[in-house]
Structure 1
Amino acid sequence: MGCRRKKKSPAVLSYEFVIQNHADIAIFLVICLLLGFTFEVSAKYAIVFIAVQYSVTCTTDGNSKQFLFYESGPKDIATIFFYMLIAINLHAVIQKYILDKINRYLHLSKTEHSKLNESGQLAIFYLFSCIWGATILIAEEFTMNPISLWKYYPHSYMLFQVKFFYICQIAYWLHALPELYFQKVRKEDILRQLCYICLYVIHISGAYILNFQHLGLILMIPHYLVEFSFHASHLFYLSDKNKQKGFTVWALLFILVRLFTLTLSVLAFGFGLARVENPGFPIAEGNCSVLPVRIGCLSVVCLTQVWMMWKFINFQLKKWREHVKKQIPPQKITPRKNKRTKKKPYRANSVNGAAKLKGGQSPRIRKSKPV
């Protein structure tokens, strides 16, 4: 009996080894950091990675009640690294137990397979972030009092939910960078994905470091809602090519959110924060409401919105051209008749091999003479 050859396991720390076991490597590092709490010496270092840092206790005037707030600082880098490892594991779990099963069920091509993986991961993340961010906005009543975006600036003191939300957001988008390597993303898709990942990291980190957390949170949730509608529509489209109504809803939401983002950014950076402008720029106080910072932030937001609208218009024009091509019926190509026609060679009239003369008479058969 013949025996099957076992596949050779890749060499340790080789390209294939890291690709196949990146989630196990990440969970191993997470367990090592958690085991750091077992010893008193290592616990003070492990807590920097796991727990949210820079807690501040404040009391209100005339009231003995204490409130716990948090600030930002360099130790947040360690916390972001820990939750980036968590995001890598969650990414692998979603890929293995949800998206791979959907791919096997739909029997998609390689191109559609990669698109489904990207849209599936992002749709789940956007939906979760929308729900989480909306609960924070409702609980803290940020939307009920928009003047608080600049009236009580700087927002250097954050509640636990706000700081933890920003740490998880930065950790997720940073984890997407090594995932380009782990997921073997196609070369033609790397530049596009790298572009929007870097934009997310720059905008969210900038809002967190410059103490624009409230403004960033209000702008982030509608944007995530639009992105969720797009990727959800894309998933339905991959399952059935006739399901395209979701893209119409996404297009309307996209334009409305772009207008909302530009309007609120100009109102906040151009008018509201100008009233609390700080000419001294004291970094220790966290007040970044100075003219260069406000102009820089407003320019980045406006350029990003213009770039997104440009991509949106090109996308819609491409879809419109494809729709027009489908509506035009293909022209039937008829072969041209050559003027010079070859004359058919003369063939004798014959029926079943017997030649006939004019009038249908067959020639007489000559009798052979007897010898």
Structure 2
Amino acid sequence: MGLRKKGSKNPPVLSHEFILQNHADMVSCVGMFFVLGLMFEGTAEVSIVFLTLQHGAPVPAGEAAAAGVRTLYHYGVKDLATVFFYTLVAIIVHSTLQDCVLDKIGRRMQFTKARQSKLNESGQLSVFYVVSCVWGTFILVSENCLADPTLLWRAPSHHLMTFQMKFFYISQLAYWFHSFPELYFQKIKKQDIPGQLIYIGLHLFHISGAYLLYLNHLGLLLLVLHYFVELLSHLCGLFYFSDENYQKGVSLWALVFISGRLVTLIVSIVTVGFHLAGSDSQTRNTTDTLTGNVNVLAAKIAVLSSSCSIQVYITWTLITVRVQRWVEDSTLQASNVKKKRSTSKGKSRKRTENGMETSNRVDSPPKRKEKSL
């Protein structure tokens, strides 16, 4: 059994290559400091802020028996520490999936760097979308949101969240925050970084907006719809990436994509419309930041306009991209037809010329060699 040979040159400590190769181990060491802090009495209180959910509020006995929970949560400044710790966890999970699954597939299939980069992006996001869709659907079912759609626009009087709802939003924020350092760890090209920053920023903006405005059920439903459409997008991309004969699957995804955006628009308009019509907070002019009440007319209009504008922007971007590809494909096909015609004409000319030459050689009598005396 042969041993694996180490590289002839090890990168210097804290150099660019060293950080790229060992960033998961370095992040694991940072995370272990918070875990080990639980073992000591002096640092346990600080470590708990990073590891567990904060800003819990006890529920009265009657409401706790009806809801089946004893503690509900609201948001606060300490959530930033929790998001930071789970951002470290997301970096570790990302690196583990990259090393144990995606890199092995790339080596076995002998992908080029461009194909390996595409596999890494689609593979990581596909796993995240699958987990988020299953987890989000479980929360919607367990909190009777699908059975009682009025929960989407009927805001609770206490403005509190369950444990699983808050942990879901904390995990979502942590994942998208971890995407910023991953741009450096994955060696993303400079020309692709602005688009990636916009993509990540839009997710953080809408997730944090639903979290801060206590639109938890609405935000969760829209996230599940959005992630399901994006999951189909990456799966179709992977199939087309492996075999270009899956063009019909890509076209089917475009229809599903537009349908998902339309459903998202309808849900947003219906939810905010009923919320505006049935809320008694329309007469309030300012938000009560002490009680966390942001259920006012201005906030609802901002949510509706933001949701509608981003869906229209995404749909318009898809349509323009599809039209550009269609024009490029049509021009490419036209150029290929012209090339085939020109090559066929050239071959026919050569054939006629060769025919004339052979006929001349046949008609002309062969030359006899003179015998030497």
TM-score above 0.5, yes or no: yes
Q: 1:114 Cα deviation (Å)?
A: 1.1
Q: Is this contact kept in 2: 1:49–1:82, CA < 8 A? A: yes
**Matched residue, 2:144:** 141
Q: 1:252 Cα deviation (Å)?
A: 2.4
Aligned-partner Cα distance in 2 for 1:54–1:5: 49
Q: Is this contact kept in 1: 2:153–2:271, CA < 8 A? A: yes
Counterpart mapping for 1:1-371 below 5 A: 7-61=8-62, 67-153=70-156, 156-276=159-279, 277=281, 278-321=284-327, 323-324=329-330, 330-331=337-338, 332-333=341-342, 334=345, 351=367, 354=370
Code of the residue aligned with 1:330 in structure 2: it is V
Gaps of 5+ in 2: 350-363
Q: Is this contact kept in 2: 1:258–1:305, CA < 8 A? A: yes
Q: How many residue pairs get matched?
A: 346
Q: 1:271 Cα deviation (Å)?
A: 3.9
The more displaced of 90-99 and 273-282 is 273-282
Q: Is this contact kept in 2: 1:70–1:158, CA < 8 A? A: yes
Aligned-partner Cα distance in 1 for 2:115–2:63: 63
Aligned-partner Cα distance in 2 for 1:63–1:184: 50
Q: Is this contact kept in 2: 1:154–1:287, CA < 8 A? A: no
The more displaced of 27-36 and 8-17 is 8-17
The more displaced of 68-77 and 288-297 is 288-297
| Partner deviation per Cα, 1:201-254 (whole Å, 9 max, x = no partner) | 110011111111111001110110000011011111222221234323322221
Code of the residue aligned with 2:74 in structure 1: it is E
TM-score, normalised by the number of residues in structure 2: 0.85
Q: 1:153 Cα deviation (Å)?
A: 4.0
Q: 1:173 Cα deviation (Å)?
A: 0.3
Tell me the SS of whatever aligns to 1:56: strand
Q: Is this contact kept in 1: 2:153–2:274, CA < 8 A? A: no
Q: 1:143 Cα deviation (Å)?
A: 2.0
Sort the Cα spacing of 1:97 and 1:244 in 2 relative to 1 into closer, same or farther, 3 A: farther
Q: Is this contact kept in 2: 1:72–1:156, CA < 8 A? A: no
Aligned-partner Cα distance in 1 for 2:201–2:286: 31
Higher helix share: 2
Q: Is this contact kept in 2: 1:265–1:298, CA < 8 A? A: yes
Aligned-partner Cα distance in 1 for 2:158–2:333: 55
Gaps of 5+ in 1: 338-347, 355-361
| Partner deviation per Cα, 1:66-89 (whole Å, 9 max, x = no partner) | 621111111010000110001001
Aligned-partner Cα distance in 1 for 2:205–2:216: 14
Sort the Cα spacing of 1:154 and 1:166 in 2 relative to 1 into closer, same or farther, 3 A: farther
Q: 1:268 Cα deviation (Å)?
A: 2.4
TM-score, normalised by the number of residues in structure 1: 0.85
The more displaced of 178-187 and 152-161 is 152-161
Q: Is this contact kept in 1: 2:240–2:250, CA < 8 A? A: no
Q: 1:327 Cα deviation (Å)?
A: 5.7
Aligned-partner Cα distance in 2 for 1:20–1:76: 30
Q: Is this contact kept in 2: 1:55–1:68, CA < 8 A? A: yes
RMSD: 2.8
The percent of aligned pairs where both chains have the same amino acid is 42
Structure of greater Rg: 1
Sort the Cα spacing of 1:203 and 1:63 in 2 relative to 1 into closer, same or farther, 3 A: closer
